[in-house]
Amino acid sequence: MSFAYKSVLEIQEMIRNGEATSKEVWDYFMQRAETEDKNLGSFNSFNKEWFNDSDAELLGIPLGIKDIFCEKWVITSGASKMLSDYIPPYESTITKRLKAAGMSSLGKCNMDEFAMGSSWENSQIKVTKNPHGTGRIPGGSSSGSAAAVAAGLVPAALGTDTGWSIRQPASMCWVVWFKPSYGRNSRFWVMPMASSLDTPGTFTHTVKDAAYLYNLMNGYDELEGSSLPWKDTIDMSVFDTKDMSWVKVWVPKEYFEQGLDAWVKNKILETVEQMKSLWAEIVDISLPMTKYAVAAYYIICPAEVTTNLARLDGIRYGHNSQLSNNGVDEIYLHNRGEGLGDEPKRRSILWSYVLSAWFYDAYYKKAAQVRTLIIEDFKKAFEQVDVIVWPVAPSVAWELWKNCDDPLKMYLEDAYTIPASLAGLPGISIPCWFTESNDDKRESLPVWFQILGPRLGEEKLLQIAHTLETSMDVRETMIPKAYKA
């Protein structure tokens, strides 16, 4: 029996009705993942020996776990040589809650090193490919999680999103992503990148699955300082809605101008027309401060990265150089120089500058003030509309290694996702359609549709996304030809 491309809720129903057992589901996905991932490269490791036959009732529905969520006694590397043999003594709150609800961990998914990147190419572990075009990037930083779900190796996977890291790979691999409001999902024992931005989320085949997993994951965690002090629960009956006659939508013109590929723009606008056909009202408003979002983000985020990376010194844990270490300076130089890749080094060195005593007020303080203005912009906008829609990225997935030597170009790819991150907004994307790539190959690749909601407005956002998803009926086309079960 094939379980590939079935949703979490569909598999759950099959187990409940006696059509399958948890062990059959586990064995199917483990065998499929081990076979198909040899070419795809979405997993860094598998938990093959974690369960035996006597544990069959504990197996649960297998998930892919981004290699940044700590699992007790399971190697968690952050896709870095620095932590290549690190075994956490604790379990992340998110994985603990999911396992308690009947889920399990099939293995650790590849990623950009410590979540720093938007293509996968910063991983120090292996190459991960896009299931829809194996010469293409899968997006990053949660590359392996998105690719594994897109290829039907797991029914769902975990990722983290700081500026784009769930939204961009899910979109390029053509699966549903969901990022809740900052503070909804606990960050406890999730390796930190930028602590005021990091948000755990999911990759799924359907919006309903995203809502179901969110119900299991979110809620107050006394062990995590940014955790909101209450639990949110999505009423699954909201998915009975058939139209959008009650919905006001904004399509910001400034995100459809310079820099957006014509092919991507056309498919996004066609999806807006689909919302109109469901009786949604299109409203015209403005977000004047979002043009400063990229500049503010690339001061705030790397400054926090620098602080979080400081703990990785190879002394208490992590890579310890075999070279002679004569003094503290040499210890840091050798341990971090050998253990960290280029992107963590770049962010750590360059943005130590903005935190220095001489430049803190000129850079970091001003960026924080701009962030406040962006938050206020969104608050005013959501007083007039229910959701805002725009692209996730200006182009479809580009070829492997094409842009990796141009950090500035890679940073600018994130202009469509960063504003929502700075404001802590929830967002979701559903598959839109395919379009041609803007290069010599002219391959047909996925296009995505990003929907943003007001902070703490997850239920309405999921309701609107599900209504649009079911009206478009593109689920069958989401299956990559090379990975059909």
Q: For 417-443, what is each residue's pLDDT tens digit?
A: 999 999 999 999 888 887 766 666 667
236 within 8 A of 219, measured Cβ to Cβ: no
Could you tell me which of 407, 255, 295, 275 has the C-alpha nearest to residue 342? 407
Q: What is the pLDDT of residue 284?
A: 81
Catalytic residue among 42, 104, 165, 171: 165
- In the predicted structure, residue 13 carries a pLDDT above the cut 70: yes
User: Does the model's pTM come out above 0.85?
Assistant: yes
Q: What is the pLDDT of residue 216?
A: 97
CATH of domain 8-286+387-404+425-483: 3.90.1300.10
Q: Where are the domains of the chain?
A: 8-286+387-404+425-483
b/e map 224-252, b = 16+ CB within 10 Å: bebbbeeebebeeeebebeebeebebbbb
Q: Please, which pLDDT band fits residue 113 given cuts at 50, 70 and 90?
A: very high
Q: Which two tokens stand for residue 145?
A: 């999680």
b/e map 66-101, b = 16+ CB within 10 Å: bbbbbbeebebbbbbbbbbebebeebbbbbbbbbee
- In the predicted structure, residue 44 carries a pLDDT above the cut 60: yes
Tens of pLDDT, residue by residue over 182-239, are 999 999 999 999 999 999 999 999 999 999 999 999 999 999 999 999 999 999 999 9
How does the average pLDDT of the chain come out, rounded?
89
Q: What is the pLDDT of residue 393?
A: 82
- In the predicted structure, residue 58 carries a pLDDT above the cut 70: no
- In the predicted structure, residue 255 carries a pLDDT above the cut 70: yes
Q: What is the pLDDT of residue 455?
A: 98
Tens of pLDDT, residue by residue over 149-190, are 999 999 999 999 999 899 889 988 999 999 999 999 999 999
Q: If you average pLDDT over residues 132-141, what whole number do you get?
A: 86
b/e map 200-213, b = 16+ CB within 10 Å: bbbbbbbbbbbbbb
Q: If you average pLDDT over residues 381-404, what whole number do you get?
A: 83
- Cα separation, 253 vs 419, in Å, equals 15
Catalytic residue among 7, 42, 66, 179: 66
**Residue 46's beta-bridge partner residues?**
107
Q: If you average pLDDT over residues 326-347, what whole number do you get?
A: 87
Q: Which two tokens stand for residue 411?
A: 């940073």
Q: If you average pLDDT over residues 97-106, what whole number do you get?
A: 94
Catalytic residue among 42, 123, 141, 421: 141
Q: If you average pLDDT over residues 254-271, what whole number do you get?
A: 84
Sheet holding 248-250, edge to edge: 43-46, 103-109, 61-66, 156-161, 199-204, 176-179, 427-436, 444-452, 387-390, 248-250, 281-283
Ramachandran assignment for 436, one of left (phi > 0), alpha (psi -120 to 50 degrees), beta (any other): beta
Q: Is 66 one of the catalytic residues?
A: yes
Could you tell me which of 160, 180, 120, 177 has the C-alpha nearest to residue 420? 180
Q: Is 165 one of the catalytic residues?
A: yes
Q: Which two tokens stand for residue 57?
A: 């009732």
- Cα separation, 86 vs 84, in Å, equals 6
b/e map 366-397, b = 16+ CB within 10 Å: bbeebbeebbebbeebbeebbbbbbbbbbbbb
Q: Is 2 one of the catalytic residues?
A: no
Q: Which two tokens stand for residue 133?
A: 């075009």
Could you tell me which of 121, 165, 123 has the C-alpha nearest to residue 301? 165
Q: What is the pLDDT of residue 437?
A: 66
